Structure 1
Amino acid sequence: MLLTALKSFQSGSLDGKMNNKTTCFLWSLRQFSTLAPRRTLWLVHPWGLCRRQIAHPSWNPRNPLLHDFDNRSQSSVHYLFQNALNFKSVNGDLQTNGIHTATVPAVVRLLCSRRLSLDSKHSFFSVGQSDDGLWKRHIHHEASNETALIKETQPNYRDRSQEYNSLSDVLDAFSKAPTFPSSSYFLTMWKIAKRMSKDQKHFEKQLMFNHPAFNQLCEHMMREAKIMHYDHLLFGLNAMVNLGIPQNTLLVQTLLRITQERINECDEKCLSILATAVASMEPCKNVDVLRAGLRILADQQVWKIERIFTLQAMMKCVGKDAPIALKKKLEMKALQELDRFSVLNSQRMFGALAAMNHRSVALLNECSKVVLENIHGCPSKILFSILQACRDLRYRNVALLTGIADYVAATFDMWRLKQVLSFLLLFETFGFRATHLMDLFMKKVVDEPEFLNVKTAEAILHVYSSLGHCHRGQNREFLDRMAGALTGSLHQISSDELLQAVCSCCVMNHFPLAAINQLLQKDVVSELLTSGNVERNIYKLRLLKTCLELDDTPYCKSLDIPLPPVPAAPQHPNAKVEGALRSLLGGEGCFSTNVQLPHNCRIDFEIRMDANRSQVLPFSDADSSAADTQRVAVLCVRPSSYCLQSTHPRGLLAMKMRHLNIMGFHVILVNTSEIERLEMKDAITLLKSKVYSTEALPAADVNLQSPC
């Protein structure tokens, strides 16, 4: 056929019109160059001349940059891996270990369209429809000297997941009448698996792997991968990843390799499917090559992408180590399409930005508005993912956090306590104190203590102590419930968990005696000082010792904890605050800098005043023990020492204020970030209002400094 077509082509006129034989020749040659491995071909030019050219698999003139990329990147990739699935073949084409290939005769490669599949004997076949509605190939051999007539039908990809009840049913249907393409079976099994519970899905997957037809289906998939439609190949690969087929198996690695070879066939639909699959896969050489290719495609085609979902899939796929220029280009494309964003697009944008670690405040602000406007009925999974993405991106939007907290509080009875606790743990990472929600949760825990166990009690204590939250009406009963949960599980709690829980109680001015006695056993203390995070354990043991010595506790035993000496604290008080105090008080003799106090307590500045705090006393004339002398401690604190966008001190700062009050100090907090933004004269005015103020401390601070 090729010879006949070539002669006809060379003898034809040059008027631009090809006869049918010429068209057939060019079509066959194009299919051959697509299916054949890289080799030297003789290409015929319109003028009847021939020239030598290197033909690459799946060359696509629409993506000229990727033409060379495939061959450069793949040459350095090794495809040897362990623990591959065992695939059997009666022909012996597929082996168990090493690199496995299925050999296809050259004549079949030449004449077979990508839409066709081959049976194990590489026979020609046509397409028919079986009784069960699945497309079926009937093998036949029609003798012809010039051509083999191949009848093909577009593979039917309609959703058949409703026709089967289990993954094994799909494999049974395949074993009875295998159809093309094999990827449709994997896609159907994935859709069925999505409807199952976690336990049922695990059981069904085990049955799938042990099914006698599963290896045969994998074999068919590998054999057909080079000739099926590219989107069908990608649908099958994505379904395999979601079904949990191990990534290092021969099946998945073979499909990754073929996907690389045919990456130039990507249109926008394929780009979306491939990006989704790659984004969910673990790094390996084949995945890394595909990710690099997708970055090139994204850079080339970002302005041509029409679907928002495809854009977000590309953002997730390019990864955190993508070039900043590519991240910026994707961000600009998303900003350009903001008016087309659906509610779901806005919700997913948080995860897309977090996946490539790109903090676009403008994009996040706009998406936050859409999320808040449509928050009612929003699933918990989406809200969790939004908060997790904001945490990873260090994006602290108080309006968004408040809106989510208010929504959870308003629908509190609809949530399980574990879900609410998950929200509170995420809020704590922002330093955000959702007052109303935390009060509701405290009341619920008091009313339903059976919810508590060691893990939940430890998590709850961490959140409430970190944010310094208490409620005078129910704080004592709430902490008693926490202490009861710890006491009932002392036989199974680890030393690290016990130390963490006890320190959280101490920060909140509560002291569970049974837990403390267990913690201060010599063997437990010795374990904490020699294993795990020793530096953190030493810090927490010092905190415990200070609380037991200063606070009004029922613990009466003498403490003999062998702790290493406290390292010298760095001396770098805030220069602007020091200058403002010098101007305000009239020299350095009226205050002291970087004062080290007993119990490992350090303050930035100390001022001594009269009992009414109306006059500053020089240090040379003041006696710190005199009854008419008021010692003032000035603490320079960072914004992170407060709860987000508030003046409420977090747990450790509140505890330090409580201890300074016990030692006879009046505490003044100076926000260093606020001072740095002010002119010197304004900073002096602010400090004057704090130093000479006689107003009592806020009620929240009083609660945190006094026993419950």
Structure 2
Amino acid sequence: MDSPQHVLSFRKKLTCIASWVFESVSVDSKMNNKARSLLWNIRQFSTLLPRSRALRIYHLGFCRPEVIHSKWDPRNHLLNTFDEGLQPSVRYLFQDIFISKSVDGCTQTKGISHAGVCKLERILCPRRLSFDTKHSFVSDGTSDHDLMKINFHHTSSEDVLTKKVRPTPVTYKKLAQECNSLSDVLDTFSKAPTFPGSNYFLAMWIIAKRISEDKRRFEKQLMFSHLAFNQLCEQMMREAKIMRYDHLLFSLNAIVKLGIPQNTLMVQTMLRTIQERIGECDERCLSILSTALVTMEPCMNVNALRAGLRILVDQQVWNIKHIFTLQIVMKCIGKDAPFALKKKLEMKALKELDRFSILNSQHMFEVLAAMDHRSVVLLNECSKVVTDNVHGCPFKVLISILQSCRDLRYQNEDLFSSIADYVATTFDIWKVKQVIFFLLLFETLGFRPPGLMDKLMERVAQEPGSLNVKNIVSILHVYSSLNHVHKVQNREFLEALASALTGCLHHISSESLLNAVHSFCMMNYFPLAPINQLIKENIINELLTSGDTEKNIHKLHVLNTCLKLDESTYKSVHIPLPPLPPSASHPNEKLAEVLGRLLEGKDASREMCSCHIIITLHFEIRMDTNRTQVFSFSDVDASSATNMQRVAVLCVPKSVYCLNSSHPRGLLAMKIRHLNVMGFHVVLIHHWELKKLQMQDAVTFVRKKIYSDEALPTTDATMESLD
């Protein structure tokens, strides 16, 4: 530590220098004020010298104070000490420029080593970290000649501060290029922390995106255990209130994508700060904020921020210029947003429809599903664009479109057909599991694509060994539900699936086995090994006591019925099961009134007749074999007559048919097959046709159905036995 005598000597020298400067400029009245100001600053500076603990003696004989700041950054200094305030002497010191003079013909500079001195013309704002470029920072080694070259009105702090004082600023792009891992970024931060901390999080997210999933998971673990990680999080919390708003939003998005828990203090602090400054949100910030909120779980701060975003969007919706921003905002506001806001966003999207790109049209399905708003007009227009440009569309985009249609209950046969035809045309480029994924979505939409399903049947018949249990169960579910049959390869297809399933019996779960056998039975096919495995007592007990027992019981009842009614080798097998719960369906009231008028009040129809455990009729009518005469149920002779025909009248909705077709789905086809086995003639009354008819027209409509020989819309699968 330097002695007090050295400090006193240096203070005397400063006083002499100031006096000499004052005398030299006193002749010039215009320079007098500057000299006084300089003298005052030197005196004030001299009062600060005793506080310095870095005074050193140099060989030249001058006592030069050098203030050493390790990794000192003016911006970081403001961040760390802003709340503490500035001492009055320091405030006065920063009012003018500190200038040195020439002594004995040699220019020497005496002042604070590596310390910037500037004039602050306004109160420091915690959200602006840039210094006034009208004033310069002068370092220790600056000569009088050098000072003459400095423009005190236009000198940037970047040009004068030495590298020893301030670390070179880094951008997140440069960090992402220079670093190969998340730990490298944190190592760089620990060596020289710079403002803003968002650069480090953005760089880590860019690196995380370009590495594999397994490596990313490992890198995240190293990131959380890194010593500098907590330090970076603390810096982010300090900088949140002074950082640019868009940088703050970018940081939040990167932090969420990196997997940092949402309930941490840093994330919650950022969310609260974003709420407080939401008035700074422009269109670009709306896009960034919406992107971040889409992936975040609900909590108090997230919900409050989303509510504020909705208010902001409601005010600015007509000023949004970019379609992508509009779509990400629509996706973010959520399903519970007010209907009026959803409608306003829909109208904005329709207004901008002419500016939609192909990508915008593809993305609109997911956007509407995210906000749970079924805009048929918007979906129809976007469907036309997708249909015209389906070739080359990525797998994920096509899947997203179909999933959105399912969630929105939107059915467009042209759209579905174009996607199915494209997949069938390019069948060889798709994996089997991708094709199965398409078919599962088509099944939930009620759409049967025959061409694509025939292609998969051929592939399965040729390569059954490539299927796993999940694939087998999914394929069986789709084909049994849509009641699809190939006239030539149907047996080979079912045998290949049965063979593949038999090879998996040693590790298949009980529920998967039940689902597979249930699908086989619906298609009137009974593989021996899977059924023998299923009807074991321990398997049945497991199905009745675990999982979705109600659904399992219903499927086991279907199995019992199929084994008894269809042409199988298991007619003597009976699985003891608990009774099914009472059916919640009721016969159609309008159809009951129509039949009453048609049969003129005779006791000729009976409601809800249970012909078997799982087969329930809406109405049963007894007629002669030519179906020209109706018998009463009380007529015993008619009941025993050999020429009597039992007619089952079913009132069915559209959902029992494939989309926009008369092709019955699996459950209806199985029901018709079983009723035919039991000697019924089945009459199907379409509910959607009946309800739009007047009573007189409805009677005529039903009369034609009952008294005619109109063929039922059945397929080979409903009648053909494959046993």
TM-score by length of 2: 0.75
1:562 aligns with 2:576: yes
**Paired AA for residue 180 in structure 1:** F
1:609 pairs, out of 612, 623, 640, with 623
The residue aligned with 2:562 is 547
Partner of 2:48: none
Task: Report Cα offsets for 1:87-110 as digits up to 9, x if no partner.
Answer: xxxxxxxxxxxxxx9774254795
Letter of the structure 2 residue corresponding to residue 462 of structure 1: H
Distance across 2 between alignment mates of 1:654 and 1:129: 84
In the aligned structure 2, how far is the partner of 1:454 from the partner of 1:330?
45
Deviation at residue 663 of structure 1 after TM alignment: 0.5
Partner secondary structure for residue 618 of structure 2? strand
Q: In the alignment, what sits opposite 1:95?
A: none
Counterparts of 2:362 and 2:269 in 1: how far apart (Å)? 35
1:291 aligns with 2:269: no
C-alpha contact 2:602 2:632 (8 A) present in aligned 1 = no
1:577 maps to amino acid? L
* Alpha-carbon distance change, 159 to 674 in structure 1, aligned in 2, over 3 angstroms: farther
Q: CA deviation at 1:675?
A: 0.8
| Other-structure match for 1:193 | 208
What amino acid maps onto 1:399 in structure 2? D
Shift of 1:614: 4.1
Question: Structure 1 residues 136 and 237, CA, compared in 2 at 3 Å: closer, same or farther?
Answer: farther
> Would the aligned equivalents of 1:116 and 1:180 in 2 still touch at CA under 8 Å?
no
Contact 2:483 2:717 in 1 (8 A): no
Deviation at 1:273, TM superposition (A): 0.3
| Kept after mapping to 2: 8 A contact 1:655/1:704 | yes
Residue in structure 2 matched with residue 593 of structure 1 by the alignment:
607
**Aligned match of 1:427:** 442
The structure 2 residue matched to 1:219, chosen from 230, 234, 257, is: 234
Name the amino acid aligned to 1:323.
P
Give the letter for the 2:83 counterpart. Answer: P
SS of the residue corresponding to residue 596 of structure 1 reads: coil
Aligned position for 1:497: 512
Whichever residue aligns with residue 611 of structure 2, its letter is L
Where do residues 322-341 of structure 1 align in structure 2 (5 Å cutoff)? 322-341=337-356
CA distance in 2, matches of 1:301, 1:138: 48
Report what 1:373 is aligned to: 388
Structure showing greater relative contact order (alpha-carbon pairs closer than 8 Å, 6 or more residues apart): 1
Counterpart amino acid of residue 689 in structure 2: E
Report deviation, 1:660: 0.4
User: Which of 69, 83, 97 is matched with 1:105 structurally?
Assistant: 83
State how far apart, in whole Å, the 2-side matches of 1:483 and 1:543 are.
19
Q: Distance in 2 between matches of 1:237 and 1:198?
A: 21
The alpha carbon displacement at 1:617 in A equals 4.1
Partners of 1:196 and 1:692 lie apart in 2 by 71
Q: Which residue of 2 aligns with 1:14?
A: none
Following superposition, the deviation at residue 548 of structure 1 comes to: 0.8
Q: Is the 8 A contact 1:503 1:543 kept in 2?
A: yes
Does 2:655 match 1:677? no
Is 1:462 the counterpart of 2:477? The answer is yes
| Structure 1 residues 543 and 107, CA gap change in structure 2 (3 angstroms) | same
Provide the rounded CA distance (Å) in 1 between the counterparts of 2:197 and 2:157. Answer: 14
For 1:114, the aligned partner's letter is R
Q: CA deviation at 1:195?
A: 2.6
Say whether the 8 Å CA contact 2:656–2:665 is kept in structure 1.
Answer: yes
Are 1:342 and 2:342 counterparts?
Answer: no
Counterpart AA for 2:548: N
Distance 2:209 2:373 in 1: 31
* Corresponding residue number in structure 2 for 1:453: 468
Cα distance in 1 between the residues matched to 2:80 and 2:379:
49
User: Matches of 1:580 and 1:423 in 2, distance apart?
Assistant: 42
Match of 2:411 in 1: 396
Instruction: Quickly say closer, same or farther: Cα 1:113–1:568, change in 2 above 3 A.
Output: closer
CA contact (8 A) 1:167 1:192 kept: yes
Would the alpha carbon gap of residues 344 and 158 (structure 1) be closer, same or farther in structure 2, given more than 3 Å must change?
same
Q: Matched residue of 2:721: which SS? A: coil
Shift of residue 679, structure 1, vs aligned partner: 2.5
1:187 alignment partner AA: L
Following the alignment from structure 1 to structure 2, what is the Cα–Cα distance between the partners of residues 337 and 570?
47
The letter for the 2-side match of 1:386 is I
Show CA shifts across 1:269-292 (max 9, x none): 111101110111011122112111
Which of 625, 647, 654 pairs up with 1:639?
Answer: 654
TM-score w.r.t. length of structure 1: 0.77
Name the SS for the 2:261 alignment partner. coil
- Counterpart of 1:475, as a letter, is N
**Computing the radius of gyration over CA atoms, which structure comes out larger, 1 or 2?**
2
Q: Deviations over 1:103-141 (max 9, x none)?
A: 7425479525534399xxxxx9986499xxxx998747x
Q: CA deviation digits over 1:553-610, x for unaligned, max 9? A: 1225431x33223444468322322333344444433433322213442211222333
For the residue of structure 2 that corresponds to 1:330, the secondary structure is helix
Q: How does 1:402-417 map to 2 (within 5 A)?
A: 402-417=417-432
Gaps of 5+ in 1: 1-100, 119-123, 141-150
The residue that corresponds to 2:643 in the other structure is 628
SS in 1 for 2:610: strand
Structure 1 stretch displaced more, 322-331 or 232-241:
322-331
In structure 2, the residue corresponding to 1:602 is in which secondary structure? Answer: coil
With over 3 angstroms needed to count, the CA separation of the structure-2 counterparts of 1:478 and 1:210, relative to structure 1, is: same
Q: Distance in 2 between matches of 1:642 and 1:399?
A: 17
AA aligned opposite 1:266: C
How far is the alpha carbon of 1:454 from its aligned partner? 1.4
Aligned to 2:680: 665
Asked if 1 retains the 8 angstrom alpha-carbon contact of 2:173 and 2:203, the reply is: no
Aligned residues: 587
> Does 2:627 match 1:649?
no
> Equivalents in 1 of 2:163, 2:493: separation in Å?
70
Structure 1 residues 306, 553: closer, same or farther in 2, change over 3 A?
same
**Are the counterparts in 2 of residues 583 and 684 from structure 1 also a CA contact under 8 Å?**
yes
- 1:116 partnered with 2:91: no
Tell me how far 1:422 sits from its aligned partner. Answer: 0.8
The residue type equivalent to 2:560 in the other structure is K
For residue 558 of structure 1, give the secondary structure of its aligned residue in structure 2: coil
Q: What's the offset of the Cα at 1:331?
A: 1.6
> Aligned-pair distance for 1:665?
1.1
Aligned to 1:438: 453
Kindly tell me: are residues 138 and 402 of structure 1, through their superposed partners in 2, closer, same or farther at Cα, counting changes over 3 Å?
farther
Given that 2:330 and 2:371 are in contact with CA atoms closer than 8 Å, whether structure 1 keeps it comes out as yes
Counterpart residue identity of residue 447, structure 1: Q
Alignment of structure 1 residues 224-239 onto 2, 5 Å: 224-239=239-254
Give how far 1:626 is off.
Answer: 4.2
Q: 1:580 aligns with which of 581, 587, 594?
A: 594
Counterpart residue number, 1:170: 185
Deviation per CA, 1:13-40, whole angstroms, max 9, x where unpaired? Answer: xxxxxxxxxxxxxxxxxxxxxxxxxxxx
- Is 1:280 paired with 2:295? yes
The 2-side partners of 1:580 and 1:622 are apart by 27
Matched residue, 1:355: 370
Paired amino acid for 2:426: T
Q: Is the 8 A contact 2:625 2:645 kept in 1?
A: yes
| Separation of aligned partners in 1, 2:351 and 2:162 | 46
Q: 1:387 to 1:571 in 2, by over 3 A?
A: closer
Q: Does the 8 A contact of 2:460 with 2:497 survive in 1? A: no
Provide closer, same or farther for how the CA distance between residues 441 and 129 of structure 1 changes in structure 2, counting only shifts above 3 A: farther
What is the rounded CA distance, in whole Å, between the counterparts of 2:304 and 2:433 in structure 1? Answer: 41
Deviations, residues 668-694 of structure 1 (Å, cap 9, x unaligned): 111111111122333333323322332
CA deviation digits over 1:1-23, x for unaligned, max 9?
xxxxxxxxxxxxxxxxxxxxxxx
Q: In the aligned structure 2, how far is the partner of 1:568 from the partner of 1:179?
A: 71
Output one character per residue of 1:465-485: Cα deviation in whole Å (capped at 9) or x when no partner.
Answer: 111112131222222222223
State whether residues 176 and 204 of structure 2, in contact with CA within 8 Å, keep that contact through their aligned partners in structure 1: yes
Equivalent of 1:260, from 275, 291, 315? 275
Q: Is the 8 A contact 1:608 1:622 kept in 2?
A: no
Could you list the runs of 5+ residues in structure 2 that have no partner in the other structure?
1-78, 87-121, 132-136, 139-155
Go from structure 1 to structure 2 and tell me whether the alpha carbon gap of 1:158 and 1:199 turns closer, same or farther (over 3 Å shift). Answer: closer
Q: Tell me if 1:692 matches 2:670.
A: no
